[in-house]
Homo-oligomer: A and B are copies of this chain.
Amino acid sequence: MIETPYLLFLGDAPDALAAKVAQGIRDWRPQNAVGQFRMEGCRADMRLPDMTLEEARAAGAKTLVIGVANRGGVISAAWKKVLVQALEEGFDLASGLHNLLRDEPDLVAVAKATGRQLHDVRVPSVQYPIANGVKRSGKRCLAVGTDCSVGKMYTALCMDREMKARGLKSSFRATGQTGILITGDGVPLDAVIADFMAGSIEWLTPDNDADHWDMIEGQGSLFHVSYSGVTLALIHGGQPDALVVCHEPTREHMRGLPGYKLPSLEQVRDMALELAKVANPACQVIGYAINTQHMSEDAAQAYLADVEARLGLPATDPYRYGADKLVDALAAI
């Protein structure tokens, strides 16, 4: 568990895209970010107050979150200076970088001397159990996709936000690095040892109130040959009551697999549902979340109308048009 609130470290981000993690926190958990720390040359801006380390501590920030990708996989000397100072000022550090904070001897030494924590969210910090398949109380909704990176995390976050806006009980459950940094905890599923994957998701989505929903971030796709095992572990560990099928209509082939076409929505619906029923016979597919970011307004509306007509369930782009339809469908089961 990473202590909130955060100071978002944007470093010398060359553009907004490099600061995707910070943007995710800003978009989804603005209450977790008291300000931003920008170095000379930074071209990203979260429209948060610019703060020194001292000012951020005074404003209550507990953790400096590296909200920016580093260039060339190296933590530069310029960054290092800020990170060391942050530890000395009393911040924990949190990072989703490929190269780990814990592999930097100077950061380790200063963290030890100052009693601060280094959170590398790319690697699990928990010894997860093997899944036991026992039915848990409370409800769970899982986003499954035709492919990787089609909007599963945003769909779960949109639904969680809409649930909370309605005063309903909901928790977003992060299963990837960005999601973990947004919310402060979760399971870095792609880094979990094979035997413990499903168990890690049982751990992440424990018994809860009967009317509480976990909105579980999906990973990969049953039809993506590189990562499908991760997806199935999520389906069986998550015991979902509801599935939302996510899709990006302009994708020409599976991400990273030029020879592989995307499956149809029908194929994903049928395959995911049959597998989900192994762990939860009551599971239902409740709707479709279509990522229309590369489509015009007209094309997006026509596509959504077509999906609804063809498949007989609500379809929306929850980020563009809101998650109302999907949350309405959840309420109905």
Question: In which size bucket is the chain A interface?
Answer: 35 or more
Which residues, 180 to 204 on A, are CB-close (under 8 Å) to B? 189-195, 197-199
Given contacts A191-B193, A191-B195, contact A228 B233 (CB under 8 A): yes
Q: Which chain B residue shows the least CB distance to A239?
A: B225
- Distance of A181 from chain B, by nearest CB (Å): 18
Q: Are B229 and A233 in contact (CB under 8 A)?
A: yes
- Distance of A25 from chain B, by nearest CB (Å): 24
Given contacts A191-B194, A194-B189, contact A229 B226 (CB under 8 A): no
Residue A333 interfacial (CB < 8 Å): no
- Distance of A239 from chain B, by nearest CB (Å): 8
Q: Are A195 and B190 in contact (CB under 8 A)?
A: yes
Kindly list chain B residues whose C-beta atoms are within 8 Å of the C-beta of A194: 189-194, 197, 229-230, 233
Q: Are B223 and A278 in contact (CB under 8 A)?
A: yes
Kindly list chain B residues whose C-beta atoms are within 8 Å of the C-beta of A195: 190-191, 226-227, 230
- Distance of A265 from chain B, by nearest CB (Å): 16
Residue A100 interfacial (CB < 8 Å): no
One of A8-16, A28-36, A55-63, A127-135 at the interface:
A127-135
- Distance of A255 from chain B, by nearest CB (Å): 11
Per-residue CB contact flags for chain A residues 32-75 toward chain B (1 = under 8 Å, else 0) read: 00000000000000000000000000000000000000000000
Q: Which chain B residue shows the least CB distance to A188?
A: B194
Q: Which chain B residue shows the least CB distance to A237?
A: B225
Residue A274 interfacial (CB < 8 Å): yes
Q: Are A236 and B229 in contact (CB under 8 A)?
A: yes
Kindly list chain B residues whose C-beta atoms are within 8 Å of the C-beta of A226: 130-133, 195, 198-199, 236
Residue A279 interfacial (CB < 8 Å): yes
Q: Which chain B residue shows the least CB distance to A130?
A: B226
- Distance of A50 from chain B, by nearest CB (Å): 36
Q: Which among A130, A135, A263 has the highest number of chain B CB atoms within 10 Å?
A: A130
Q: Which chain B residue shows the least CB distance to A197?
A: B229
Chain A interface (Cβ < 8 Å from any Cβ of B): 130-135, 189-195, 197-199, 222-223, 225-233, 236-237, 254, 256-257, 259-260, 263, 271, 274-275, 278-279
6 further A-B contacts with Cβ under 8 Å, apart from A229-B231, A229-B232, are A191-B195, A193-B194, A194-B194, A194-B229, A222-B275, A228-B236
10 A-B residue pairs with Cβ-Cβ distance under 8 Å, sorted by A, are A133-B226, A190-B193, A195-B226, A223-B278, A228-B275, A229-B229, A229-B230, A229-B231, A232-B232, A271-B275
